[in-house]
Amino acid sequence: MPESTLATFSVRRLEIIDPEGNADEALLPDLSGDELRRLYYLLLLTRTFDGRALALQREGRIGTYPSVLGQEAAQVGSAVALAGGEWIFPSFREMGVFFTLGYPIHQLFQYWGGDERGLRTPDGLNVFPVCVSVGTHLPHAAGAALGARTRGDRMAVVAYFGDGATSKGDFHEAFNLAGVFRLPVVFICQNNQWAISVPLSAQTATRTLAQKALAYGFDGIQVDGNDVLAVHRATREALEKARSGGGPTFIECLTYRMADHTTADDASRYRPAEEVAAWRERDPLLRFERFLAKRGLWNEDYAAEMKGKAQGEIDEAVRRFEAVPPPAPGEMFDFVSGELSPRQKKQKEQAS
């Protein structure tokens, strides 16, 4: 018998706006002018927060902080596609997702300032706490999706993670579970091409990350992660598919980490400045401004006004964050268990 081919594969890539701001009209999501401007404001807000967080860290007012510079579109574009009510499992570099969902900004300063009270998700918002242990939250997303399926809810679940997380066993285990059970989950990777000092080429031998989904029996797509509308479109489609029983989707947002890994890192030790400079040309905010300008939705005055508004909102969040009195020592016992053991109660008394 001759040898035969059982499977071949291809990987789709989606981009809608080019770096000059020209759009492929056929692919544009149907967003109104106001909705487009809301996207712009959220991108600005995320960037403004980021700049302020870096400054606060330098002044010692918050601790180690992971910058989101350059990744705003991948975060805002996807989160804006959520209908509300979805369960979200973030990693630790998704400030833009939190803002888009309406998570209180001062709480993020609080968390990165070393106060776990910042992790308390407001009621009505189903966002799991930041996950510091890379990739370990992906099975939770599969599990929540399995829960929704078990209950018969038309719920979609979304998980965010980085390129480095795709090396973890948890990534593969979650993907397999999602594929086997055709779970309503959307996996969104912010492939910023670095995991601290490890470049993508040393993280995986595959050409794309998106294709990893194919091995688990579901679709993977790569989108231009610096194109807020491409991310938006891909996410919305994946969510609709999930809700209507079509199973999981993996969206690889190809983007770039413009800053150091965190404020504790010095990326100049391991990556060339030219590489970073090349990506500056593809800045997601700049691109969206050009796009909006071509449609008469943006000019310098409008930008200045929106920047002022974002600054104001962040100023207010910093003020609120710094007005919160420090936690009392006994608070480290709060929420350890539904009920403290007699020994813990005694320890709490001694600590207070």
Partner 1 sequence: MPQLNMVQAINLALREEMTRDDRVVVLGEDVGRDGGVFRITEGLFEEFGAARVIDTPLSESAIVGAAVGMAAYGLRPVAEIQFMGFIYAAMDQLFAHAARIRTRSRGRFTAPLVVRTPYGAGIKAPELHEESTEAFFCHMPGIKVVVPSGPYSAKGLLLAAIRDPDPVLFLEPTRLYRMVKEEVPEGEYTLPLGKARIARPGGAVTVVAWGSMLQRTLKAVEGYDAEVIDPMTLSPFDWETLLASVEKTGRLVVVHEAPLTCGLGAEIAATVAEEAILHLRGPVIRVAGPDVPVPLAKLVDHYLPSPERIRGALDEVLRY
Ligand X SMILES: Cc1ncc(C[n+]2csc(CCOP(=O)(O)OP(=O)(O)O)c2C)c(N)n1
62/251 with CB nearer partner 1: 62
Q: How far is the CB of 61 from Mg ion (least distance, A)?
A: 26
Helix (H) / strand (E) element for 222: namely strand 219-224
Amino acid letter for position 177: L
173 binds partner 1 (CB under 8 A): no
Helix (H) / strand (E) element for 305: namely helix 300-323
Where along the sequence are the contacts to ligand X (CB under 6 A)?
Answer: 93, 132-134, 162-165, 192, 194-196, 257, 261
316/334 with CB nearer partner 1: 334
Would residue 270 show up in a list of annotated catalytic residues for this protein? yes
Site for partner 1 in 91-110 (CB under 8 A): 92
Candidate list 154, 270, 295, 319, residue with the active-site label = 270
Residue with tokens 């996996």: 187
Would residue 13 show up in a list of annotated catalytic residues for this protein? no
Select the binding partner of residue 343 from partner 1, ligand X, Mg ion, none (C-beta < 5 to 8 A, by kind).
Answer: partner 1
Residue with tokens 């939250």: 137
Select the binding partner of residue 348 from Mg ion, partner 1, ligand X, none (C-beta < 5 to 8 A, by kind).
Answer: partner 1
Candidate list 232, 233, 257, 287, residue with the active-site label = 257
Q: How far is the CB of 107 from partner 1 (least distance, A)?
A: 13
C-alpha distances in angstroms, 79 versus 74, 86, 138, 176, 274? 9, 10, 17, 24, 31
Site for partner 1 in 189-218 (CB under 8 A): 195-198, 202-204
**Could you say which DSSP state residue 225 is in?**
T
User: What DSSP assignment string belongs to 2-68?
Assistant: ----------EEE--B-TTS-B-GGG-----HHHHHHHHHHHHHHHHHHHHHHHHHHTTSS------
Which one of the spans 18-26, 80-88, 133-141, 309-317 is the region binding partner 1 (CB under 8 A)?
133-141
Work out the end-to-end distance of the chain between its first and last CA atoms, rounded to an integer number of angstroms.
Answer: 78
Which one of the spans 18-26, 60-68, 186-194, 240-248 is the region binding Mg ion (CB under 5 A)?
186-194
Phi, psi of 38 (to 5 degrees): -65, -40
Q: Which two tokens stand for residue 252?
A: 């690889």
Helices 33-58 and 300-323: crossing angle, nearest 10°? 50
Which one of the spans 70-78, 125-133, 242-250, 308-316 is the region binding partner 1 (CB under 8 A)?
125-133
Which one of the spans 3-11, 98-106, 147-155, 331-339 is the region binding partner 1 (CB under 8 A)?
331-339
Q: What are the residues whose beta carbons fall under 8 Å from the beta carbon of 330, sequence distance 6 or more? A: 348, 349, 351, 352
Residue with tokens 């209180």: 104
Phi, psi of 78 (to 5 degrees): -80, -40
198/276 with CB nearer partner 1: 198
Residue numbers annotated as active site:
257, 261, 270
Residues that bind partner 1 in the complex, under the rule CB under 8 A? 63-64, 92, 113-116, 130, 132-136, 164-165, 167-170, 195-198, 202-204, 264-265, 269-270, 326-327, 329, 331-333, 336, 341, 343-344, 347-348, 351
